[in-house]
Each structure stands twice: as structure tokens, then as C-alpha cells.
Amino acid sequence: MLGTLVQGRVSLDGAAVAASKLALTAAITYSTQRRQFNASSELREEVLMDYQRHQRRLLPRLAATYAASFAHEELLEKFDDVFSGRNDTDEDRQDLETLAAALKPLSTWLALDTLQECREATGGQGFLIENRFASLRADLDVYVTFEGDNTVLLQLVAKRLLTDYAKEFKGVDFGVLARYAVSQAAGKTLHRSGLRRVAQTVADSGSGKKSAKALRDEDTQRELLSDRVQSRVADVAAVLRGAKGMSQEKSAALFNEHQNELIEVAHAHAELLQWEAFTRGLKKIEDPGTREVLTRLRDLFGLCLIEKDLAWFLMNGRLSSQRARTLDRYINRLLTRIRPHALDLVESFGYGPEHLRSAIASGAEQERQDEAAEYTRRRRASGDAPIDEKTLLAREARQKKAQKAAKSRTKG
Ligand SMILES: Cc1cc2nc3c(=O)[nH]c(=O)nc-3n(C[C@H](O)[C@H](O)[C@H](O)COP(=O)(O)OP(=O)(O)OC[C@H]3O[C@@H](n4cnc5c(N)ncnc54)[C@H](O)[C@@H]3O)c2cc1C
């Protein structure tokens, strides 16, 4: 029954990605125009997008939206392959179903989260219905439920991961299986004893720079993200193998004991699919400058995934504490490098005013800011501008200091 809803799921995935793109276009456009509080100058306030926290709120979601968008393109191709009859075997249909079941939950959750964050990141303006965050969020709310509830869909993905894992070892002779078991056990000792962590720390030799370089490396990111899926599937499969000879009641209880973990593995698998789609997408970009910026965005996506699940990577010996410490700093560095391209990155979605239909994405804030700056400049030039209290106090303090110095000179 769940399987028949695949066409709807493909559409929901695309619509959710489009909603995230619209929200980020409006929020990032506004954030590059809206000025609030003066930190670095008495005369000009800062643009919101230059605050580190603002970058942390919007840019990782922009990176996740790009990843979801690349993954959606691949889903559409698979969908076209099956429904055009070009590649329409039973296996192709199963692959399409699993892919749709994995991507729809992530993109619809991302859309709700992005719409809410963009709404807050644009302050009171974001709350106005004319800027569409609230209405889009209300429209998108049901996406996580209809055409298959997200949590239930991820169980479908988990089941497929377990089936594939079991298939891989079906009919394998005892010798190979024994060798596999030995290498698994060796792998486990390596991870659980933290030996790999020690090796990483030694290789990094206390250098934050080397740690950052390793994290930037595509193969390191791929290894960390795919190992997280493979080893967790293997762990659960090993436990569930015991369910074979059990009664229905007992085997269901055993399965239920590991349900949460299974859903988390499916989630991690879907994130890996998005990361891989983004990485494949990079290979198709010909312009070196564009490729460089998007590679940074892909790195931001990959490293934020690792940061989100840092406890698992550390607890299971996949990451040294040295590298884990570098992660936060390196993500902040990536944010400052991506910041100058933020506007280009949302403009490349290609939405015009007729799609955005949002006042804060129209450039109105820039006009307002320019007008206010011009008004203040004129007043200052005319000498009519009120003097800031802080400036007066500072002037008084300087005068007192000068009087004191003059007095002590007279005494001397
Ligand atoms: C606006 C709207 C339009 C719809 N349109 C259609 C339509 O046109 N055609 C159609 O066929 N259907 C339609 N549906 C139905 C929709 O597909 C179902 O609502 C959806 O699949 C979820 O099923 P449910 O409502 O029975 O929730 P339930 O299955 O009761 O789920 C409720 C909660 O329990 C959790 N849960 C359920 N099972 C498990 C489990 N095994 N393990 C852990 N957690 C679990 C879920 O994650 C969810 O959070 C529509 C629904 C809505 C809201």
C-alpha cells in the first residue's frame, strides 16, 4: 500500500525543496540589506548577514537545500527511467521506492525547519503574512504526514537496508563468512578500543591545520558518513539474526528493541544519499569558480552532518577529539568564505518576483536603508543632528583628563 504512493512522494520531495529555496532566497536577500546594531562603526550599523550567528542559522540550511536539490534531480531521473519504461525491472521499481522513501522525509522536515528559521531570522517582517513564511509553513506542515508518514517511510528504508545486507551474505560459504566475522571483529576492536582515534591523533600530530585539511578532504567525509551507515546496519543485523528461530511475539519484541536505532540508520543513509548526489553534481560543473564555491558548500553540508552526530563519531572511535575540536572552528571558517557568495547562491535558484511574491525579497529594505542613511548624512552635514549621549560623555571624560593633566603640570 505504501509503495503505490511513489509518484506523490516524488512530487512532495520537489515541492519541499522549492519551498526551502523560496524561504532562503527571501531571508538571505533581506539579511544582506537589513542593518541592525552598530558594532564596528559609530556611523553605520551592521548588515544582519555579517553576524556569525546569522550565518550559522542560514548557510548550513542553504547547503542542505542544495544537497536535497541535487538528490531530487537524481530521483526525477530514476522516476523517469521507471515510468518511461526505459529501465522498468522489479529491482528498478524497488530502488525508486526506497529512494523516494528516503528523500521525502528529509526534504519535508528540512522545509519546515528552514521556513521556521527564515521566519525568525527576518524578525517582525518574517511574521507578516505578506512575506509568506507563515502561510508556506502551514501549507507544508502536512507534507511530513501524507503520502506516507516520514517516520514510517524511514522504516521502509531500514527494512531495505537489512534485506540488502542479508542478500550480500546469502549463499556465502563458511570460509568467507568466517573471514568476514574475523575482520568485523578486528574492525570492532580497532574502533571500540579507540585505536583508530589514537592513530588519527598521531597523524594530526597536534596540528589543527592538518585536522582541518583532513576534514575538508572528500574521501574523509565519504568514509565517515558511509561507515556510520554500514557499521550500524551490520550491528543491528547481527542482533536481529537471532530472531529467525523465535516465536512471532519474541521476534517482534526483539525488533522493537532496536526500532529507534533502525530509523536512525535509515536517516543516516538518506543523508549519505544526499551528500553523494551533491558530490556527483560537483563533477558536472565546468566553471572553476562556481565549482570552488559549491565545493565549500558541499563541505559545509558534510561537516554539519558530522557535527550533528558528533557524539556517535566520538563514542565509536571514528573521530579523534583533536579533529572534533577543529570541526567547529573549520565550519566557522567555511561560513565566512561562503558569506560573500550567499546572494549569488540564492539568485542561482532562478526565482523572479512573480515566484517569490514576498515584499522582503523585493529590495524594498535596501531602498529604506539607503533613504535612512542619506537622511542621517544630511543632518550630520547641516550640524543639526543630535549628539549621541555616549559621544557627549566621552567628550566630558576627555576634557576632565586634560584639565587634570594641566593642573599637575602647573604644580610641577
Ligand atoms: C490532508 C491529508 C490528505 C490526505 N490525502 C490522502 C489521499 O488522498 N489518499 C490517501 O490514500 N491517503 C491520504 N491521506 C492519508 C495519509 O497518507 C495518512 O494520514 C498517512 O499515511 C499517515 O497515516 P495515519 O494518519 O494513519 O497515521 P498513523 O499511521 O496512525 O501514525 C501516527 C503516528 O504514529 C507513528 N507510527 C505509526 N506507525 C508506527 C510504527 N510502526 N512505529 C513507530 N511509529 C509509528 C507515525 O510516525 C505517526 O507519527 C491524507 C492525509 C492528510 C492529513
- Structure confidence by residue, pLDDT tens digits, 219-254: 999 999 999 999 999 999 989 988 888 999 999 999
Neighbouring-strand partners of residue 35: 47
Higher pLDDT, residue 390 or 258 = 258
Residue 147 CA to ligand 1 centre (angstroms): 8
CA 73 to chain CA mean position, Å: 18
The backbone torsions φ and ψ at residue 12, rounded to the nearest 5 degrees and listed phi first, read -65, -40
For 86-118, the pLDDT digits (tens) are 999 999 999 999 999 999 999 999 999 999 999
Among 85-94, 120-129, 388-397, the range with the most confident prediction by mean pLDDT is 120-129
Residue 149 CA to ligand 1 centre (angstroms): 5
Domain with CATH 1.20.140.10 in the chain: 2-362
Comparing 4-18, 114-128, 191-205, 225-239, which segment has the lowest mean pLDDT? 191-205
218-240 and 259-283 helices, crossing angle to 10°: 150
| Percentage above 70 pLDDT, the chain | 89
Q: If pLDDT is split at 50, 70 and 90, which confidence band does 177 have?
A: very low
151 CB near ligand 1 (under 6 Å): yes
**Residue 265 pLDDT greater than 70, yes or no:** yes
**Residue 330 pLDDT greater than 60, yes or no:** yes
Atom of ligand 1 nearest to the CA of 148: 21
Model pTM? Answer: 0.89
In angstroms, how far is the first alpha carbon of the chain from the final one? 98
138 CB near ligand 1 (under 6 Å): no
36 CB near ligand 1 (under 6 Å): no
Q: Please state, in angstroms and rounded to a whole number, the distance separating the CA atoms of residues 263 and 156.
A: 9
**Residue 329 pLDDT greater than 50, yes or no:** yes
Q: If pLDDT is split at 50, 70 and 90, which confidence band does 174 have?
A: very low
Topology annotation, domain 2-362: Butyryl-CoA Dehydrogenase, subunit A; domain 3 (1.20.140)
Please state the length of the chain.
Answer: 412
Query: What's the CA angle centered on 57, arms 15 and 111, to 5 degrees?
Result: 15
**Stretch 146-150: mean pLDDT:** 95
Here the cell at position 82 is 521507471
